[in-house]
Structure 1
Amino acid sequence: MLLSSTSAHKGRPQRHTIVQPSELRPVEAIANLPELTSRNIADFIGNIDGTEESDEAALRFLATYGLVPNERECPECLNGKMSLVKDNALPLHFVWRCSSCKTSNIITKKMIRENTFFQEQKLSVQKIVHIAADWVESPGRNNERTASLHGVTTSTIVNLNKLFRQLTEQWFERQIEKNSNFLLGGPGKIVEIDESHMYKAKYNRGHMLRRKSIWIFGMTERHTNKVAMFRVKQRDAATLLPIIRAHVKPGSMIVSDERKDFKENMLIKLELLIRYALFCRLQLCGEIVDEGD
């Protein structure tokens, strides 16, 4: 168990990592957890009750997917790795400390959340991740309702949602730049296409009616996880055909379907992609740029 082997008391082994290196996973692996939803995310990251058990689960989850560093080098003595030490007075109940500095009567420590997205946030990491998952799954819910569900102020939700949007948009923009020649399909392969209206208010009610309509044109390669999404201003042939020609290989069979199950499958893949994009950017928090609303 993590808690039993990290305290750096005399006679106890020091722990230099949160999880074993063999347990580390790339952040994109989060998108491959289809069972992970806002309803059961506590099973992965712990409850928001602040108990040691919940904080241990959160710490392991964040370290496993690179959302907090799994290990730290001492910035003072440059003599090796810092040790993970229990401290119940701190969030997540742990802190990084350098045992080499301690022998010289120098106290060197780093907070678990230091230099991560969570550093400047006052909420617990569990609550932030709960709100992030909710943002991915329920984009049409108004801020007041979301704030009530999570027991925080509306301004907190507004600020977090703004950050989530910035992070996700930055990821998509970089991916488009990196993968301008990204191709789907090929001879004998099926590429499904559809358009989805994002942030649409249900029953013509809610604040979303005052926002611009956002149409997403999606293409997915059947029987694979390959998917491409494009924000489009129009849904006419003059807009969509050039995108298809640029990103679908010759010889592909293109299917456009209005069936409910097809649309649900496309939206599920879009949700996974947004989740992936958001967590990728949470990992690279140092590159956040305030680009406005």
Structure 2
Amino acid sequence: ECINRLEVHGLFNHHLSCPVCDQPMRERIDNKLKDGIIWSCRRPCRKKISIRKGTFLESSNLRCNQVIDMLYFGAHGCLGKETAHECDIAKEALVNWHNFCCDIYREYYVTQNILLAEPNRIVDIDENMFVKRKYHVGHFKTQWVFGATERDTRKCPLVAVADHTADTLLAVIQDYILPRTTIISDLIQ
């Protein structure tokens, strides 16, 4: 059931072609494996491939249900000792996975060139400064990020900006938000 959920949400492959004979492979039950399922070629080559191959779980030792639990708790901002206990993993591993998922989210939202809104839609905008300490000591790096969220669709482009001056933010707004859109901010409306 966990594997089906991960497939439905695009975290595992629905279909795979054999790298040897290029024929469609099928999922086969193999209870000796951690996941209990493996991709298997029906042709004479009999190639077998882990269902994790080519996914972000490829090098992970976690069980599928642990991954689902971590994603659920992480999406709700729960990263404490209790969550680590519920997921049956070390707290350090939970934090590492959370950081890994944040990197994936960031990469997705930064690489998406999302254009927001149609006439009569509402978009909330804001800018924030993110700070990263180098080796957790004195010196730190700052980065301003502009974000906008379309209320109806929840589309959300994030754009790294050099500063948060009016000229910079206006240029980003013109690039990412279509005319005749209602823009709401904590500073302007």
Instruction: Determine which of 92, 97, 101 is the counterpart of 1:160.
Output: 97
SS of equivalent residue, structure 2 residue 57: helix
Structure 1 residue 109 displacement after superposition = 1.9
Instruction: Determine which of 246, 249, 257 is the counterpart of 2:175.
Output: 246
Instruction: Work out the CA distance in 1 between the residues paired with 2:151 and 2:58.
Output: 40
Deviations 1:35-59 (A, max 9, x none): xxxxxxxxxxxxxxxxxxxxxx122
Instruction: Work out the CA distance in 1 between the residues paired with 2:25 and 2:120.
Output: 54
- Aligned positions of 1:26-175 closer than 5 A: 57-76=1-20, 78=21, 80-101=23-44, 107-138=46-77, 141=79, 144=81, 146-175=83-112
Unpaired stretches in structure 1, ≥5 consecutive residues: 1-56, 200-206, 259-293
Deviations 1:241-283 (A, max 9, x none): 332233333333322359xxxxxxxxxxxxxxxxxxxxxxxxx
Aligned to 1:11: none
Q: Compare the two structures and name the one with the higher helix fraction.
A: 1
Aligned to 1:10: none
Q: 1:132 to 1:233 in 2, by over 3 A?
A: farther
Q: Compare the two structures and name the one with the higher strand fraction.
A: 2
Aligned to 1:220: 149
Q: Give the structure, 1 or 2, with the largest relative contact order (CA under 8 Å, sep 6 or more).
A: 1
Q: 1:73 to 1:239 in 2, by over 3 A?
A: closer
Aligned residues: 181
State the one-letter code of the partner of 1:242. A
Matched, 1:237 2:166: yes
Q: 1:111 to 1:171 in 2, by over 3 A?
A: same
Deviations 1:175-201 (A, max 9, x none): 2xxx2xx543455444332456889xx
Instruction: Determine which of 193, 196, 199 is the counterpart of 2:125.
Output: 193
Q: CA RMSD in A?
A: 3.6
Contact 2:121 2:152 (8 Å CA) reproduced: no
Contact 1:79 1:100 (8 Å CA) reproduced: no
Deviations 1:143-163 (A, max 9, x none): x55434422113322432332
Give the TM-score, by structure 2 length: 0.70
Q: 1:257 to 1:58 in 2, by over 3 A?
A: same
Q: 1:170 to 1:149 in 2, by over 3 A?
A: same
Q: 1:100 to 1:243 in 2, by over 3 A?
A: closer
Structure 1 residue 123 displacement after superposition = 0.7
Instruction: Work out the CA distance in 2 between the residues paired with 1:152 and 1:125.
Output: 13
Instruction: Work out the CA distance in 2 between the residues paired with 1:71 and 1:184.
Output: 33
SS of equivalent residue, structure 2 residue 183: strand
SS of equivalent residue, structure 2 residue 101: helix
Contact 2:109 2:158 (8 Å CA) reproduced: no
Structure 1 residue 90 displacement after superposition = 1.4
Task: Determine what percentage of the aligned residue pairs are the same residue.
Answer: 28
Structure 1 residue 60 displacement after superposition = 1.6
